[in-house]
Every structure is written in structure tokens, then in C-alpha cells.
Amino acid sequence: MTTTTSRAPLPAPARRRRPFNPRRAGAWALLVLAIAVSVLPFLWVLRTALSTNGSLASQSASLLPADFTFGAFLRVFGLQSPEDAIAEGGSGAAIDFWLYLRNSLIFSSITTAGAVFFSALAAYAFARLRWRGRNFVFSLFLGTMLVPPIFTALPNFLLIKNLDLLNTMLGMVLPYVFMTPFAIFFLRQFFLNMSREVEEAAMLDGAKHLRIFFQIVLPNAAAPIATLALLTFIGQWNEYFWPLLVGSQEDVRVLQVGLGVFKSQSPQGAPDWSGLMAATLVSALPVLILFAAFGKKIVNSIGFSGIK
Amino acid sequence: MTTITKLPDPVAGGSKPQHRGKTLLRAGRGRRLGDLRIALLFIAPAMIGFIFFYVVPTIRGVYLSFTEYNILGDPEWVGLDNYTAIAQDPLFWNSLAVTGQYVLINIALQTALALGLALLMHRVAKSTLIRGALLLPYLMSNVIAALLWFWMLDYQIGVVNQFIEWAGLPRVAFFGSEEWAIPTQALINTWRHMGYTALLIFAGLQAIPGHLYEVAKLDGASAFQTFRKITIPLLRPVLVLVLVVTVIGSFQVFDTVAVTTQGGPVNATRVIQYYIYQRAFTESDFGYGSAIAVILFLILALVAFIQMKFLKGNESDLD
């Protein structure tokens, strides 16, 4: 019998319930708390983005938007006249998140496509081909994961500058497009754990490595490659430091950098909170969409599968 | 020697691969001699990226650290001058202390919370939906996480301070006070990484063969004994990897600082990477910035080495 029935006399329970287990309930409570902390801030961001700046202070604890308006979103997409923007607590400075959205899409797509494909090739060589120095070269590649991005960022910035590629999309994608150490590591793990049988059968039939790679390994690895592409895309989407260094100008500015600029443009006095939160949501939206569509894939990919 | 131009695209490669495969593999004098040629072809593109954007910049970075270079002229060799200057630079030592404080708070909180969450999920709920909800913050950029909390923790009208006031406590200047600025940055990062780290550990828990627990149960082991004798040893490689990755990442905190406090108040959040950024890009002192970057690099290598060595992270107990 559960403890609740003693307080409120209910009709006899239709089915047996698990006896109340305080430890289990406690575990659930903690889990629910963690979920609330993870998710509720986003609702607060949405609520703020739909509010009018001037009313945020007076209705700071209401769960509903304070004086509902789409003004903040209009402002972020540059659809509001400077006068209206200033009247609603914006800075009035021109800001165009459509452009940043486009730039972010281009930047993330190119780097993801290149890095995933080239890393898959390399990972295959590290996992399935036998050659002298393989493990040594792999450990060198892996060692690059240790190199702090700031360390290579300074010389890479100079390289891109010397190549006259500052503030170009090419300059922004170059360091990422050939590989990422993580992608090689991730796919190598998968290739190592793949069954050799099919490959060996193909090899007995006289198939060589390129054919095996494209006809057997890649199709078999479609799932992890898709996962890797998703993770890489999200990672690139969220990249801030490098685009800040080489892509600060408006025509190649990505969303993350745009957000920082938008924040720093805050008018004197109170910041444009609803505008800032609307911009934040716009920047998060593509990732949220990907997450809604492929959430299961992303979630199940998290883990060091097959560390050996 | 094969070159990158011979690299077939996926479609063409699938259609008539035999011919290409044969010409490329003529060297195949039996498998014992290995697949060196084909391997070179496979790693060629990655090698380009590796050499030009990792190896060369690493060497150049070390070289620059021995120069004075303000981007306009040529780098001028100054020997160890940058390093001796750094040794006497209070801002550098401050950045080291501030970063260390950040890493400590962040890693302690994050690892403890993540381990707890992972065990909870393992025990009571393995649903993807729950894991997804916990992962959500990690999928957001640092910039988004920073701005979101910059708003929620605002001194005047932030909702958190609203709650604090309702609880009868004085408002907290999370970003504005020197004592709170670093813990606040660490909390933001903990919020963003907690679920992700929990999922990594959770995956490690899932990988522990269930029959081990059954055997332990049959032997009458208590929950705590099972945890100590089975869970922790078998989870160790995952835990070590988690620690190495999170500690290294944590040392490189930049984004959240750059969009919120920008090093302030005073020097409270001038973390190493932000200081490097300022010296190199704001003050055009690339030599000095590179020298600090070299030091950061060495610190990270040392930390990773110690962790791997003493926690034996590269050995699995599952074999």
C-alpha cells in the first residue's frame, strides 16, 4: 500500500503499485531538478524575447511575456526602423541577423563536409591499413587535440593574413576543412570495431582498399558518419574565437560573433535585453531544429564508445 | 608516389574502382610489407591540414615567442626577453591564478554533478528524452550560454536575483563583483557541460557488462561494495578521459569572458586566453602573446601527462 491511501481514502487501487521507495523518489526528484535547470532557462529566454524592454523591470517575475511584442525579433532582423528600435530600447544600430545566419550556414556546412570526408579517409588508414609508422603518425595527429586552439590561432591568423584572406570565407574555413583530430579519432574508433569479415571476404575477391572503403566501409559507417557530421556541424556553428579573429567584418560575420557585437552595442543605461534574447534564440534555432530532428542520434552518440 | 589529385570522389570511386585500386596498389608485394602507399593516399588531405594548420603554426608559435612582433614589420629575435618579462608580469600571474581558480571550481562541480547524474540515470531512467533534455545546454554555444546567464543573473532585473531577494538574501552582483565573477563564469560552464559529461559517464556505465553486477549480487555484495569494486574500476578509463578533456577545455576559457565581463571587474576574469588575446590582438604584441600561449601549452601538456600517467587512463579494465 502506498502512503497516500492512508490520508485520502480512495477506492481500492485497480492495479498493484510499486511500493513507495523514498530513495527512488529522491533520485527522480534530483533528476527532474537537473532537467529543469537545463531546460527552463530557454523558456525564460523566449519569454524575454517576446517582451517589451521597458516592461521587463516592472514585470520581472511574471512567467508570461511582459507586454507581448515581436518587436525584438523585427529589430534583430533589421526590419525595424531605427526610431522604433530606439523607442523599444534597442540601440538603433543596423544589425542583420539574416546575413549572419547565412554566413554561419556556409561556414559550418563547408567545414563539416570537408572535415568529415577527409577525416574518414585518414581514419580508415589509421584503423585498417597496415603501414610502418602508423601508430606514431596517429599519435601525432591525436597530439594535436592537446594543442590549445589559441596557440595555433595566432600563427594561423598570421598565415591567413599573409595569404590576404582575412575577412573571407575561405580564410575562415581553411584551418578546419581538411580534418579535425576529433573526427579522425571518432571514426578510427568505429572502424577498429567494425567486423573484418566482410572486408576480408571482399579482399579475397580481389577488391582493393579504395573499393573496400567506398563500397563497404563507408556504407557500413553511414550512421556514425552522419552522427559525426551532426556533431561537427553543431561544433562549427558554435565556434566563436576563430571567426572573431578572421571574420570580424559584417559581410562574413557569423552568428556567434554577431551576437557579441549586438551585445556590445547595447545602448547606454539598460541593455536591450529582449533584443539580445531574440538574437540568442535566432542563433540557437538551427541547432534546436537539428536537435528536434536528430536528437536521438545525437544523444546516443555521446560516449567514448569502444575505448581500447 | 600518389598525389591528392588522384583522390576519387565518393561517387566515381564507387563506379569503377577496380582499375584505380589496382594501379595504386601495384606495390602490394604481399600484405606483410604493408599498405604504405595506399595509406599515404588516404591520409593526404588530412596531412595537409595537419601540417599547415597544426605543425607549422606550432613551430611558428614557438618561434614567435622568442621575437618582438607587432604584425607590421618583421619579427625581431629577442631571445628570452618575452619570457623574462612574463615572469615579472603581475597580470600574467594574475591570469594564471584566476584561470586556476576557474578550472578548480568548474571541474570539481562539473565532475561531481555529472557523476551523480550519470548514476541516477543509470539507476532510474535511461530514456533518451531525459538524456536529451540534459544535453541541451551543451549544444548551445558558449556565447549563447554566456548571454543567457548574463541576463538571468543581471543584478537589477535578473530572475535569479529576484529569487534571491524573495529568499530574504541580499542581491548578488554575479558579474560585477570581483569575488563572484570567476565562480559565475565557472557556473555558466558547469551548466553548459554538466549534462554532456554526465552522458559520457553514463555511456561508460552502460558499457559495464551486466553479468558482473549479477555475480556481485549473488555473492551478496552491498550496493556500495558493488560501486567500489565494480563500477569505479571499470569506469576509470572513461573518468580519466572525461577529466583530461574537461580540464584541458576548461583551461582555455575565453568565449564566455569575452562576451560578458571582458576580463573585469578590474582583473578578476582576465583568464589566460583572454590575456593572450588582448596582448596579441588588442595591443598587437604577437611575440608576447605567443610566449604566454607557449606557457599555456606546456601547462596543458603537463596536466594531461600527469592525469594519464597516474590514473592510467589508457588502460582498460574491461579486457
pLDDT of A271-292, one tens digit each?
Answer: 888 889 999 999 999 999 999 9
Round to whole Å and give the CA distance between B165 and B180.
Answer: 17
* Nearest CB neighbour to B143, from listed A210, A260, A298: A260
Query: Which band of pLDDT confidence, cut at 50, 70 and 90, is reported for residue A226?
Result: very high
For residues A139 and A18, which has the higher predicted lDDT (pLDDT)? Answer: A139
Chain-chain contact of A302 with B199 (C-beta, under 8 angstroms): yes
CB atoms within 10 A of CB A264: 11
* Nearest CB neighbour to B237, from listed A38, A280, A307: A307
- What is the grid cell recorded at A7? 490520508
Chain-chain contact of A211 with B144 (C-beta, under 8 angstroms): no
Contacts A–B by Cβ distance under 8 A: 306
Nearest CA-CA distance, residue A274 and chain B, Å: 10
Residue with cell 540601440: A91
Round to whole Å and give the CA distance between A97 and A279.
Answer: 8
Write down the pLDDT at residue A149.
Answer: 85
Statement to judge: residues B38 and B186 lie in one domain: no
ipTM entry = 0.86
Statement to judge: residues B116 and B48 lie in one domain: no
CATH of the domain at B258: 1.10.3720.10
> Is pLDDT of A4 > 70?
no
Chain-chain contact of A125 with B38 (C-beta, under 8 angstroms): yes
Residue A240 exposure: Cα atoms within 13 Å on the Cβ side: 23
Write down the pLDDT at residue B190.
Answer: 96
The helix (H) or strand (E) run that includes residue A180 is: none
Please choose, from the candidates B146, B82, B233, B199, the residue with its C-alpha nearest in 3D space to the C-alpha of residue A240: B146
B204, part of any domain: yes
Residue type, B119: L
B318, part of any domain: no
B180-192 confidence digits (pLDDT tens)? 999 999 999 999 9
Statement to judge: residues B279 and B221 lie in one domain: yes
B82, part of any domain: no
B78, part of any domain: no
* Nearest CB neighbour to B36, from listed A131, A177, A276: A131
Chain-chain contact of B46 with A134 (C-beta, under 8 angstroms): no
Statement to judge: residues B14 and B162 lie in one domain: no
User: Residue range A17-37: average pLDDT?
Assistant: 86
Chain-chain contact of B147 with A276 (C-beta, under 8 angstroms): yes
Residues of chain B with pLDDT under 50: 1-32, 319
Statement to judge: residues B116 and B220 lie in one domain: yes
B319, part of any domain: no
B95, part of any domain: yes
CB atoms within 10 A of CB B211: 8
Round to whole Å and give the CA distance between A302 and A227.
Answer: 10
Q: Any alpha helices (H) in chain B, and if so which ranges?
A: 10-15, 17-24, 36-50, 56-64, 81-87, 90-124, 128-139, 142-152, 159-166, 178-206, 210-218, 223-226, 232-251, 255-259, 272-277, 286-311
Chain-chain contact of B296 with A150 (C-beta, under 8 angstroms): yes
User: B126: domain range?
Assistant: 87-311
Statement to judge: residues B278 and B153 lie in one domain: yes
Nearest CA-CA distance, residue A220 and chain B, Å: 14
Statement to judge: residues B46 and B187 lie in one domain: no
Statement to judge: residues B120 and B44 lie in one domain: no
User: Residue range A110-136: average pLDDT?
Assistant: 93
User: Residue range A233-239: average pLDDT?
Assistant: 95
DSSP letter for B174, please.
T
Statement to judge: residues B18 and B166 lie in one domain: no
For residues A291 and A15, which has the higher predicted lDDT (pLDDT)? Answer: A291
The helix (H) or strand (E) run that includes residue A175 is: helix A169-177
Chain-chain contact of B252 with A119 (C-beta, under 8 angstroms): no
CB atoms within 10 A of CB B171: 14
User: Residue range A117-128: average pLDDT?
Assistant: 93
B247, part of any domain: yes
Statement to judge: residues B23 and B135 lie in one domain: no
CB atoms within 10 A of CB B288: 28
For residues A120 and A96, which has the higher predicted lDDT (pLDDT)? Answer: A120
Round to whole Å and give the CA distance between A129 and A180.
Answer: 20
Which residues of chain A are within 8 Å of residue B29 when distances are taken between CB atoms?
Answer: none
Domains detected in chain A:
48-95+265-308 (no CATH), 113-251 (1.10.3720.10)
B70, part of any domain: no
Statement to judge: residues B164 and B242 lie in one domain: yes
Round to whole Å and give the CA distance between A306 and B219.
Answer: 29
Statement to judge: residues B123 and B234 lie in one domain: yes
How many structural domains comprise chain B? 2
Q: Judge whether B195 and B134 are in contact, CB under 8 Å.
A: yes
